[in-house]
Amino acid sequence: MRFAAVDLGASGGRVMVGDPARGPDLTEVHRFPNRPVEVAGTLYWDILALYREVREGLRAAGPVDAAGIDSWAVDYGLLGEDGALLGNPVHYRDRRTEHVIGEVLAKIPASELYAATGIQFLPFNTVFQLAADRRAADAARIVLIPDLLTYWLTGELGTERTNASTTALLDPRTGGWATGVAARAGLDVGGFPPLRSPGERAGTTDPELGSVPVYAVGSHDTASAVAAIPATTDRFGYISSGTWSLVGVELTAPVLTEESRKAGFTNELGVDGTVRYLRNVTGLWLLQECQRVWGVPEVAPLLRAAAELPRRSIVDVNDPRFLPPGDMPGRIAACCRETGQPVPRDPAEFTRCVLDSLAEAYRRALADAVRLSGKEIDVVHVVGGGARNALLCRLTARACGLPVLAGPVEATALGNVLVQARAHGALTGGLDTLRARIARASPPRRYDPR
């Protein structure tokens, strides 16, 4: 059987086909850049270009048994009564929420918002975006990005739960909307189409794409990635490592304490009712933006040079100044200067500084996750593109004092395929069974702390 996984990331998308009987192995059938567009001071996703590429990818996939879509979180499109898109979805790195955060938190204090929804404060959380969005109150529908693409492919509307949990409008204890909290923030969650969980049927593609089932998967990319961690024990921590690094543990119930809120931990919902208890750590975005500024697209030479250097300066990677696109080397240099540390002098030194800073942020996030949740871990799984970065994996193992198991790189697409395949009856079993399958098919690479 063949299942098509559409996986959209902040810098690019891909369509992969996986056969669960063979691993699953994955074949990439289409890859495309995701280029946000700034117009009159607002940063937008080019959603129609993405939709065109998704269709192209699904055509290139050939005959498949089903398809599923995942993407980054929090962002949405608004639909009018007639189902038409009202304007382009705004990028989460846009600054539009800056002036409304205070207003929202005056209506509903951060502590109450957290106790009800369990989401780490980030300026781009959907709750703040909707408050900043003058059109939202008049829209008939609020549709999260993967659900919007699913709607265009199938004509059917829904709101997938793992992604809905990132809005800071969902109650992670019940999996239903936190209606009261939303109302206090001045928002109406009635605009979201009905909730659905990973594995539920989300519709059928149009005949041009073969009239095949589309399943809701862990449509938040991180939910799909975590579902595909090749864990063979439940005592694991994880880093889903890409543009962001999502660092934490898997739980069966959320941690909604004040201490957890202050530590910046989120309780996002995972596949099969799990809780992704994690911290959003600014990830390889820092290096990607440096590379863009330097005009150095290849990362390998930077990593080779950085590996020869000693650890010198550490910056707080979650400093809000790193969130918007811009002169990342300049911002990193300013941080080093302000904290009295040596300022990196060339790309290799900047690269080393970023990687050491990431490893240090991972150490802290995992230690906090263990302390706040009581969940103990013996190993750290790194999945996603960052699993390819041997230097970062080595530094992480050393910083955390735990073995790092790196890979698979395409965990998100694998998690997407596995959930579809199970929904379609091609696989059975819980998350542990699915994970054991991945551990056999793509054994991770081990880095010992030394």
Q: Which of residues 230 and 242 has its CB atom nearest to ligand LFR in the complex?
A: 242
Residue 279, SS3?
Answer: strand
Asked if 45 interacts with ligand LFR (CB under 6 A), we say: no
CB nearer ligand LFR, residue 222 or residue 274: 222
Nearer to ligand LFR, 380 or 427 (CB): 380
Binding mask 153-192 for ligand LFR (x = CB under 6 A): ----------------------------------------
- Pick the catalytic residue from 221, 316, 346, 378: 221
CA 106 to chain centre: 28
Task: Residue 367: name the closest of 229, 249, 234 by CA.
Answer: 249
Q: Among 97, 95, 86, which Cα is nearest to 43's?
A: 95
As measured in angstroms, the least distance from the Cβ of 13 to ligand LFR is 12
Question: If DSSP codes are grouped into helix, strand and coil, which group holds residue 392?
Answer: helix
Chain centroid, CA 279 distance in Å: 11
How near is the Cβ of 225 to ligand LFR at its closest, in Å? 8
Among 221, 289, 368, 410, contact with ligand LFR (rule: CB under 6 A): 221
Q: How far is the CB of 443 from ligand LFR (least distance, A)?
A: 25
Of the CA atoms within 13 Å of residue 320, those in its CB half-sphere come to: 7
Q: How many CA within 13 A on the CB side of residue 441?
A: 24
Q: Name the one range near ligand LFR by CB under 6 A: 56-64, 71-79, 292-300, 388-396.
A: 71-79
* Closer CB to ligand LFR, 71 or 396, in the complex: 71
Annotate each residue in 78-97 with x if it binds ligand LFR (CB under 6 A) or - if it does not, as one string.
--------------x-----
Give dist(CA 45, CA 34) in Å, integer: 8
Number of shown-chain residues binding ligand LFR (CB under 6 A): 13
Residue 255 or 336: which CB sits closer to ligand LFR?
Answer: 255
303 binds ligand LFR per the rule CB under 6 A: no
User: CB under 8 Å to 145, separation ≥6 — which residues?
Assistant: 8, 45, 47, 71, 72, 75, 76, 77, 89, 163
Contacts 24+ apart (CB under 8 A), 304-311: 305/347, 305/348, 305/351, 306/348, 306/349, 306/351, 306/352, 306/355, 306/391, 307/391, 308/348, 309/348, 309/349, 309/352, 311/352, 311/356
Alpha helix (H) ranges present in 185-254? 221-227
Q: Which is nearer to ligand LFR, 65 or 410 (CB)?
A: 410
Residue 293 CB contacts under 8 Å (≥ 6 apart), including other chains: 327, 328, 329
Is-catalytic flag, 221?
yes
Which residues, numbered 244-273, are part of the site for ligand LFR (CB under 6 A)? Answer: 244, 246
- CB contact at 8 A, 345 and 332: no
Q: List the one residue from 162, 260, 280, 313 that touches ligand LFR (CB under 6 A).
A: 280
Among 17, 73, 189, 411, binds ligand LFR (CB under 6 A): 73
Instruction: Candidates 135-143, 237-245, 345-353, 424-432: pick the segment binding ligand LFR (CB under 6 A).
Output: 237-245
Beta-strand relationship, 195-196 and 159-160: parallel
Q: Which residues bind ligand LFR (CB under 6 A)?
A: 9, 72-74, 92, 220-222, 242-244, 246, 280
Instruction: Please give the positions annotated as active site.
Output: 221
